[in-house]
């Protein structure tokens, strides 16, 4: 979701208080106390599929659905739902991104994160809920470490912090030890310029295999902000020694747009100016990264992880408003960029907005590593004016020889799209709910939807974790691909045939 700096401190409720974490500063000491952890495995209700308001809901979608009514294609069905639950049951305790490891799914939330045991995907269990407020708590995992992005000014970097002010508030990365899934420990914080809206895990290689790097994306500089002054045309790179995460630190701040990128008002249309990046997807095997940087999309060479090199930048002031997200196909011959028109809070899946705005754009990566647009995709299911709906986060379904994506569209639901023919992509499956109740506010739907070891996992902003099964001849071969760890913005290859 687009981050809005003005009034950002007012976004989160201050009624949820955790135990103290570590002190403020660029490199805080080891926390003297730990966040509040709730063991949900013994206290939460069983995770069960929700009933549709009118039977199975097969074939129902979009404007045909009533409030919270479920609709889905015949090849997809909900097999489990885990509600957010206390302490994440307040109005703005929104569910965000997902990461995966073994039999566990890790779910970010504006108020902290949840660890789910999905050893039986049809009966997921809450292992722990960790209270540590700081929107949007974008999440990744590797080994015994978990990382969170904080892009909402806090009074300090502790897990009991209250909202801070945009001038002097703390923002950045928090690091947890998750060797005990039932009792994660807060290890370290690293402050980064303009905070961390998202981050992307980049594994070290060669002599640096014992390290990981976090590409920290942030934006929205303000002249009065102590740690976020313009210009801000860079990302931060945080180095984390895997065996000594308490030594994590910022090791580089590469400028990606020495000319400033797209300027405010340049080219007309609704495209926002470039002032940093929103999200970066890396493909380490190919030494490539794709950056979605507000007014620009970029292709980067990351053969040296701490010195990424921009190969090309593109913009599209006619169709794209906010370059938000990206993903490569399996052989890195194409990259898909998503436009978050309206910042995630607007109803853009309607006839008036049209099929190329708030949509995905598919670019071919030529032999000389240039980007050439080949097509667009937007879900064909028109939504109501009450439903925020736009292109959001997704991952490939690992089908050999094909490019099939599962993707979140907020209240447009979860879409499965075949991009194998880049010029003619088509939706081959979907799952969605009707408009959220007015009591839940205006922001809802699927934040992220990813395929992992045979199932689709969707982080619904207000409904919790959905587990969705897809049975289709096109996607069934993916069930043979098993992963032990999966951070969706860190791509790995799967068999080509």
Q: Rounded distance, CA 330 to CA 254, Å?
A: 27
CA dist., res. 446 & res. 384, Å (int)? 16
Strand partners, 219: 276
Residue 8 DSSP symbol: G
Reduce the DSSP state of residue 451 to 3 states and report it.
strand
Band of residue 47 on the pLDDT scale cut at 50, 70, 90 = low
Q: Are 156 and 181 in contact (CB under 8 A)?
A: no
User: Mapping DSSP to helix (H, G, I), strand (E, B) and coil, where does residue 331 land?
Assistant: coil
Nearest to 38 by CA among 102, 93, 101, 98: 93
Which pLDDT score is estimated for 228?
96
Mean pLDDT within 438-455: 96
Cis status of the peptide bond prior to 143, with omega within 30 of 0: no
Query: What is the spatial distance between Cα 337 and Cα 293, in angstroms, rounded to a whole number?
Result: 10
Output the CA–CA distances (angstroms, integers) from residue 186 to 146, 217, 397, in the order listed. 9, 22, 33
Look up the pTM and report it. 0.93
Q: Tens of pLDDT along 345-386?
A: 999 999 999 999 999 999 999 999 999 999 999 999 999 999
User: Where would I find the H helices in 123-241?
Assistant: none
476 contact partners, CB below 8 Å, separation of at least 6: none
Residue linked to tokens 């599209």: 316
Determine which of 17-21, 37-41, 64-68 has the lowest per-residue pLDDT on average: 17-21
- Distance CA(108)–CA(149), nearest Å, equals 9
Residue with tokens 């997809």: 76
Which tokens in the block code for residue 316?
């599209």
E strands of 265-308, at which residues? 279-283, 288-293, 296-301
Per-domain boundaries in the chain: 1-22+35-44+93-253
The closest alpha carbon to 114, from 143, 148, 64, belongs to 148
**Total residues found in the chain within this entry:** 497
What does DSSP assign to residue 57?
-
Residues 140/134, Cβ–Cβ less than 8 Å = no
Task: Mark 97-134 as b/e (b = at least 16 C-beta within 10 Å).
Answer: bbbbbebbbbbbbbbbbbbbbbeebeebbbbbbbbbbb
H or E element in which residue 211 lies? strand 211-217
Query: What share of the chain has pLDDT > 90, as a percent?
Result: 85
H-helix or E-strand containing 310?
strand 309-314
What is the pLDDT, as a whole number, of residue 15?
Answer: 27
Helix or strand or coil: residue 127?
A: strand
Give the range among 29-33, 127-131, 211-215, 266-270 with minimum mean pLDDT: 29-33
Q: Inform me whether the pLDDT recorded for 18 exceeds 60.
A: no
């Amino acid at each position: 979701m687009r981050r809005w700096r003005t009034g950002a401190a007012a976004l989160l409720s201050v009624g949820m208080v955790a135990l103290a974490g570590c002190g403020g500063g660029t490199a805080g000491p080891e926390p003297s106390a730990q966040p509040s952890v709730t063991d949900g495995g013994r206290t939460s209700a069983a995770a069960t599929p929700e009933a549709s308001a009118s039977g199975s809901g097969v074939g129902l979608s979009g404007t045909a659905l009533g409030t919270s009514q479920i609709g889905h294609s015949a090849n997809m069905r909900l097999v489990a739902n885990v509600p957010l639950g206390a302490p994440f049951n307040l109005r703005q305790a929104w569910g965000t991104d997902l990461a995966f490891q073994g039999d566990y799914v890790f779910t970010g939330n504006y108020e902290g994160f949840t660890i789910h045991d999905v050893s039986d995907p049809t009966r997921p269990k809450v292992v722990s809920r960790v209270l540590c407020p700081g929107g949007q708590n974008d999440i990744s995992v590797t080994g015994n470490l978990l990382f969170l992005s904080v892009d909402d000014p806090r009074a300090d970097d502790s897990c009991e912090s209250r909202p801070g002010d945009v001038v002097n508030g703390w923002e950045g990365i928090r690091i947890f030890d998750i060797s005990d899934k039932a009792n994660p420990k807060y290890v370290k914080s690293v402050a980064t310029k303009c905070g961390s809206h998202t981050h992307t895990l980049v594994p070290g290689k060669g002599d640096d295999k014992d390290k990981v790097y976090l590409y920290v994306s942030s934006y929205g500089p303000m002249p009065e902000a102590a740690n976020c002054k313009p210009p801000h045309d860079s990302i931060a790179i945080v180095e984390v020694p895997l065996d000594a995460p308490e030594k994590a630190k910022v090791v580089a701040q590469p400028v990606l747009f020495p000319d400033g990128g797209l300027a405010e008002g340049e080219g007309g249309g609704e495209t926002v100016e470039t002032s940093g990046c929103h999200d970066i997807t890396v493909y380490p095997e190919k030494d490539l990264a794709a950056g979605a940087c507000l007014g620009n999309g970029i292709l980067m060479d990351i053969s040296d992880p701490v010195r990424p090199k921009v190969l090309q930048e593109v913009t599209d002031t006619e169709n794209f408003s906010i370059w938000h997200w990206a993903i490569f196909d399996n052989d890195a011959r194409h990259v898909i960029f998503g436009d978050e028109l309206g910042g995630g809070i607007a109803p853009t899946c309607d006839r008036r907005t049209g099929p190329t705005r708030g949509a995905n754009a598919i670019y071919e990566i030529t032999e000389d590593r240039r980007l050439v647009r080949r097509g667009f995709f937007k879900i064909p299911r028109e939504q109501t004016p009450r439903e925020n709906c736009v292109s959001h986060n997704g991952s490939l379904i690992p089908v050999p020889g094909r490019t099939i994506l599962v993707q979140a569209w907020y209240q447009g639901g979860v879409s499965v799209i075949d991009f194998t023919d880049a010029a003619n992509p088509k939706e081959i499956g979907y799952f969605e709910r009707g408009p959220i109740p007015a009591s839940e506010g205006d922001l809802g739907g699927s934040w992220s939807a990813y395929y992992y070891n045979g199932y689709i996992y969707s982080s619904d902003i207000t409904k919790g974790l959905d587990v969705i099964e897809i049975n289709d001849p096109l996607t069934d071969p993916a069930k043979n691909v098993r992963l032990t760890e999966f951070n969706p913005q860190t791509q790995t290859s799967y068999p080509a045939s």
